[in-house]
Amino acid sequence: MGGYMRDHFSATTLTPEQAEILEIPEVRVDGVLKSTGRARYTRDFRLPGMLWAKFLMSPYPHARIVSIDASAAKAVPGVHVVLTTDDIGRRRLGRQVADWPVLASERVRYVGERVAAVAAVTLEAAEEAVKQLEVVYEELPAVFDAEDALRPDSPILHLDWEEYYPQGRAPSLRHPNAPSYAFSQKGEEEIERVFANAHIVVEDAYYGPRQHQGYIEPRGCIVWIDEQGTVQVVSTNKTPFSLRDALATIAELPSDRVVVDCRFIGGDFGGKGGSVEEFPCYFLARATGRPIRAIMTYTDELTSANPQHEAKYYLRTAVNREGAIIAHDVRAYQNAGAYVAMRPNPPTSARSGLGCLSPYSIPNVRFEGYNVYTNLVPSGAMRAPGDFHRGHAGEGHIDHIARELGMDPLVFRLRNCLRPGDTLLNGEKVRNPRAVEVLETLRRETNWDQAPRVPHQGRGIALRYRHVGAGKSELLLRLLSDGTIEAITGNADQGGGSHTVIQRAAAATLSVDPKHVRVRFGTTAEALRDPGSGGSRTTTMVGHAAIDGALVLKDKLEDLAAEVMGWPAGDVRLQGGQFVVSSTGECMPYQEVAARIAAGPVVEAVGAYDPAEHRSDEGGDFNFIADMIEVEVDPETGRVHPTQAVAVIDVGTIINPVAHQGQLDGGFIYGLGQAMTEELIHEAGTIITASLGEYKLPTQMDAPRFRTVLLPRAEGPGPFGAKSAGENTNTGVGGAIANAVLDAVGVQITACPITAERVFEALQELTASTVP
């Protein structure tokens, strides 16, 4: 295995030859299959004898299950089996906190929780059987607000919470409804003394709603047990190895007895890292001996999937006379819903509110955060998890402070943003922060200082950054008989283009045309382990793993080329798509020699990258973005119309130019929906925005003119100095639009989405407050 250090792949070591290969117009690895309709998604799989699965969902947010009568359901023609927790036992799911039952046991904790599972010959028979199930419930008090759930008289949702942890490892909870709590403090001074001596202190309260990820393909799976007793799973889940391990635990099987295949995924945006359908489907397959198919409808998605959490932030900030932020105090509540099983790290979730003012240098910080159980659908991840809500809160708060100071909001940001040598609010070092550069570029590109004032028209800005995720990636490179190099990866490409990154990174390292590298998703039985796509980690981790494997393979190919061609050992180099003998200049095309090598023993190389082994003393890597959005506001109706937007982005080396720009453009429109139209609204726990008619996703027709300005290349943590792109262009949109509304009509909108109703009400309150 190749052992390289990160600086070997910085932007400064990108050779002209590698740059030339990366400039070859990209052809997506999966493009032809998808564009011709030949890509097989989960719902396209058909197996002999396959049965349909449907689930009985709880109609109550909190209730005790008194009894279940399945006799009428079992009598429906075509029904093979009906299962409840009495049939499968009390089995719970959870990445770190195993609190979510496969089927509800004793009580239900949210509307839509699975109570029973049915398998039938047809979908219609399964649906009819679900209708025939008779369940007697005893309603219990429910709680939907995170702060209300922490009150002393609030109903306790998990009386047996200590059972959710390995024996002896249950934490000490501040409240039974708060599975995680975080407190941190930065600075030498007593923070209340700093506030007391400040020039001004500004306080705000912000709210971020529950929102669905909005992927095109609903979740689904097919589960069967083969003749060898191995559990086979085809799934829309983007983390196949995590799913394999979780299902093996639930099924009480060795992990190699579960095989997960998720080769084509129709979008994700964070929502397909955790899924639950596979688990009851396993028990249905075990009970019937038949393949089981479960495909969610979009109503199922909107009412019972794992949406982005609801969040509340209470911000208090102290500023001195020079306009420097000298202290920041934040209290945050994340509404986790009924279970935290699918959250990758519940303690980290509690700490996430610390990021509201993350792009700024603040010497004294105090943070308190709660991750809270309520009787709502369990929440999960969404594009840049939590960053959109934090961006709206933090950037709106920054503009409020600037307004109180009478200072230009861009100048105020420049006064306080992170610079080389500064640390984050949690004390972490930052390597080469480019906050000043993105702000100054935005200032110039938007003519910020000379822009004319137009009635009811405003401009708002936001400054954000995004980190790079973690997790070790591995893959296998193998020489095929025709000289093509096959890369087998366990990283499922959910639409972001990770397989094309692998192809181009390997090709540039090997010095061959990308057409000579073929990338294939491997099931968990054949691929090496990969944590999956997410957290802006894919290009960096999977790309470096491809480079690592390519370096090893290149050494092997050069040695074998000398052997099969009779060239001097150690004198052969693979460069420019050719094998070259250094001493004589003799050369032959890559594929011709590679095919001869492939006629011999199998040639393989393993590539791996673990970011924990490549940490820099200079600090973490972050890519910064500055947004400017211009809006027009109708004061009679409150309607907000974005007219133009500019984003200045620190991008590093671009490996996939077309896909990269697609991520930036798509991320902006994604943020537009989060900012202006999207909200999962519930009444007593029941989602009423239960279709795409009520839950409004933005379209291209809703988008203003959008222009991206890419900063000149700088060293990033990814292959050849690449930086992440998929999770930064949505995070500042809410803050920038709210600030533009403030600039246009003088009202501060502290809750998303920024609807005409919210703006109109704020304008009415402003008018009422100014009337004598």
Domains of the chain: 6-39+470-614 (3.30.365.10), 43-140+219-295 (3.90.1170.50), 310-418+430-468+621-770 (3.30.365.10)
Q: Does position 8 have pLDDT exceeding 70, yes or no?
A: no
Residues 175-202, mean pLDDT to the nearest whole number: 92
Q: Which residues contact 539 (CB under 8 A, 6 or more apart)?
A: 498, 501, 655, 718, 719, 722, 724, 725
Between 21 and 689, the more confident residue is 689
Q: Which residues contact 315 (CB under 8 A, 6 or more apart)?
A: 203, 204, 205, 206, 328, 329, 330, 356, 357, 393, 394, 397
pLDDT of residue 4: 28
Q: Does position 133 have pLDDT exceeding 50, yes or no?
A: yes
Contact 465, 622 (CB under 8 A): yes
Between 398 and 342, the more confident residue is 398
Q: Does position 748 have pLDDT exceeding 90, yes or no?
A: yes
- Cα 231 to chain centroid distance, Å, stands at 28
pLDDT of residue 216: 92
pLDDT of residue 10: 38
Q: Does position 228 have pLDDT exceeding 50, yes or no?
A: yes
pLDDT of residue 452: 86
CA–CA separation, 396 vs 407, rounded Å? Answer: 14
CA–CA separation, 118 vs 107, rounded Å? Answer: 19
Global pTM reads 0.94
Q: Does position 707 have pLDDT exceeding 70, yes or no?
A: yes
Q: Scanning the structure block, which residue is given the tokens 């009202």?
A: 747
Q: Does position 168 have pLDDT exceeding 80, yes or no?
A: no
| pLDDT tens digits along 544-570 | 999 999 999 999 999 999 999 999 999
Mean pLDDT of the chain: 92
Q: Does position 193 have pLDDT exceeding 90, yes or no?
A: yes
Contact 112, 304 (CB under 8 A): yes
- Tell me how many degrees the CA angle 652-702-33 measures, rounded to the nearest 5: 60
Q: Which stretches of 725-755 are DSSP H helices?
A: 733-745
Residues 324-333, mean pLDDT to the nearest whole number: 97
Residue 12 has phi, psi (to 5 degrees) of -70, -15
User: Each residue of 154-167: b (16+ CB within 10 Å) or e?
Assistant: beebbeebeebbee
Contact 63, 139 (CB under 8 A): yes
| pLDDT tens digits along 288-303 | 999 999 999 999 999 9
Nearest to 473 by CA among 507, 494, 496, 499: 499
Which residues are bridge partners to 164 per DSSP?
Answer: none
Which residues are bridge partners to 463 per DSSP?
Answer: 626
Q: DSSP secondary-structure letter at 722? A: B
| pLDDT tens digits along 407-429 | 999 999 999 999 999 998 888 88
pLDDT of residue 718: 84
pLDDT of residue 651: 87
Q: Does position 15 have pLDDT exceeding 90, yes or no?
A: no
Residues 41-56, mean pLDDT to the nearest whole number: 96
Q: Does position 43 have pLDDT exceeding 90, yes or no?
A: yes
Contact 177, 344 (CB under 8 A): no
Tokens of 593: 């020699």
CA–CA separation, 371 vs 339, rounded Å? Answer: 11
Residues 313-326, mean pLDDT to the nearest whole number: 98
Q: What is the DSSP string of 232-254?
A: EEEES-S-HHHHHHHHHHHHT--
pLDDT of residue 12: 37
Q: DSSP secondary-structure letter at 230? A: -
Residues 259-280, mean pLDDT to the nearest whole number: 92
Between 501 and 15, the more confident residue is 501
| pLDDT tens digits along 461-505 | 999 998 877 889 999 999 999 999 999 999 998 888 889 999 999
pLDDT of residue 9: 36
Contact 243, 342 (CB under 8 A): no
